[in-house]
Structure 1
Amino acid sequence: MNATTAHEIGLDQAAAGMTLAAALLDAHGGVLLPRDAALTEATLASLRRRGIERCVVWAEAAAESPADAAARERDLERQLQRLGQLFRHGGDDARPELMQLLADYRSREQP
């Protein structure tokens, strides 16, 4: 089962039936459409007339291909090696803890 995630898209990519994952605001911060509002052809036309260019919608997250997973793992390994390089010197007690926090941050799933 795929997870639902928020994706920012251009209004030209939006289609009737999509659901907003974030409120759509005008230039002054006023709410044009609330979060979880369903887009219709009429609302899309109105948003285009107002000059709205982007929106955030809910979408099914695609399953990660084996090639993408391998590339992500290689990128993570490269980042962790770089952290090791940056933290190779220094003798204070906070260094290992800080490096671990950074490694944990880098290892988190990024949208």
Structure 2
Amino acid sequence: MVQFSAPRLDASFAALSDATRRGVLEQLGRADASITELADTFNMTLTGMKKHVGVLEQAGLVTTQKVGRVRTCKLGLSRLAEETAWIEEYRRLWDARFDALDHIVEELKQGETFDGRR
């Protein structure tokens, strides 16, 4: 198995586990936005949005830059490559297991036909 950075994966998946944070990423995928704009979009307080943005920033999914009194958010440099590879590895594992199960079910079906039980 490929070695993955557990703390990084934990931070990314924790950040992605919340619907609001996924929505923020979606929003930032369309255009950079201030924390105030994000808070308005998601109908929440500035403090609440700052906490969500902080979690995303810790995971490397968002970066912020303060100019004057405005903190602008944009997508971070993380392209989720490591997270995608982790998911893909487990997808392959489960695909193999389901293929094996399909093979067993097929053999059982053929066995029933030959035994005359069908």
* Length-normalised TM-score, structure 1: 0.30
Structure richer in strand, relative to its length: 1
Highest RCO, 1 vs 2 (Cα 8 Å, sep ≥ 6) = 1
Structure richer in helix, relative to its length: 2
Query: Which of 1 and 2 has greater Rg?
Result: 2
